């Protein structure tokens, strides 16, 4: 009873003391705004990290949408017999806030955006835990986790993974074009299309592109709302070959545009359109893969599982 009263008092302070709440909000904004400025001027304008603003907007929108549900679930948990769990969560939250502030100070002082952005995400989750307990965090877990896609990847990791990915995309694209009797040759990541030469850049087939498409795939799965965990797991794994296929289609599109309309078209407006077509192709492939997985699950329940028992209880939706 004492622990439950302590948790309720903490939540009452959050809303009943506007001065303290405003001070906390201003302090949080003072930490976030400089980081957002650096991201907006140094990171997000690049092709590799252009998904950052979209990730931020989607996460904030989902948090706003689910905030009433989080408060309701938090209030229900606080009024139940396990109020002491919420009290312990408050202590955990304070410890995580301390660690997040240390990580932020380190990242800010050393100009390490990865640590800086990651610490702010941890700080946001810790404040939710402090205010709403574990019930609120569980309700907001997806938008909080989705913010992780804002973190800039280490350049060493990007360089190590991007090189073989570009080689694979170039090889498959050249093979497909040659199979269609197009005048295309390949030398490393350089494609020769008629009199033109095209370099497969990092933005066309790099780790950051895969990272962006993985974010798109997880957002699709979240909005789709499948109940079966195994179906979500299969789709999350399939995002990787889907991203690879979409990159190949993007390169093929640029090569064909260059062959038909020349190098100026391939490097001009068509290049931007090919970037948008990458995500459109990935979304269509996701829809197709999701449909096929659902059909396979339905056939499995109908023909393989006798009597519709056992695994048949796993819903395809």
- Catalytic positions are 204, 250
Q: Is the dihedral of CA 219, 314, 242, 48 positive or negative?
A: positive
Determine contact, residues 248/173, Cβ cutoff 8 Å.
Answer: yes
Residue 236 near residue 218 (C-beta atoms within 8 A) = yes
Sheet holding 184-187, edge to edge: 184-187, 190-193, 196-199
Closest C-alpha among 107, 100, 103, 150 to residue 124: 100
User: In the Cβ-directed half-sphere of 214, how many Cα atoms lie within 13 Å?
Assistant: 16
């Amino acid at each position: 009873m004492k622990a439950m009263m302590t948790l309720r008092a903490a939540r009452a302070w959050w809303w009943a003391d506007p001065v303290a709440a405003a001070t906390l909000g201003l302090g949080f904004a003072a930490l976030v705004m400089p980081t957002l400025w650096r991201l907006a001027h140094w990171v997000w304008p690049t092709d590799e990290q252009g998904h950052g603003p979209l990730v931020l907007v989607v996460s904030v929108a989902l948090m706003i949408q689910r905030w009433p549900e989080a408060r309701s679930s938090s209030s229900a948990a606080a009024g139940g017999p396990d109020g002491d769990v919420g009290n312990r969560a408050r202590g955990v939250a304070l410890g995580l806030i301390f660690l997040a502030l240390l990580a932020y100070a380190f990242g800010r002082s050393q100009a390490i955006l990865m640590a800086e952005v990651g610490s702010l995400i941890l700080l946001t989750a810790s404040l939710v835990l402090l205010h709403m307990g574990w019930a609120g965090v569980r309700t907001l877990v997806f938008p909080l986790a989705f913010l992780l896609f804002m973190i800039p990847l280490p350049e060493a990791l990007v360089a190590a993974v991007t090189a073989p990915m570009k080689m694979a995309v170039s090889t498959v694209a050249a093979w497909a074009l040659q199979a269609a009797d197009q005048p295309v040759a390949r030398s490393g990541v350089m494609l020769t299309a008629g009199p033109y030469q095209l370099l497969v850049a990092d933005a066309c087939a790099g780790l950051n592109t895969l990272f962006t498409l993985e974010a798109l795939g997880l957002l699709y799965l979240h909005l789709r709302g499948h109940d079966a965990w195994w179906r979500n797991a299969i789709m999350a794994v399939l995002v990787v070959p889907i991203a690879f296929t979409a990159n190949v289609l993007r390169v093929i599109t640029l090569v064909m545009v260059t062959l038909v309309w020349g190098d100026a078209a391939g490097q001009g407006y068509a290049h931007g359109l090919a970037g948008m077509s990458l995500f459109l192709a990935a979304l269509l492939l996701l829809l197709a893969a999701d449909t096929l997985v659902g059909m396979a699950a339905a056939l499995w329940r109908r023909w393989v599982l006798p009597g519709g028992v056992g695994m048949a209880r796993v819903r395809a939706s």
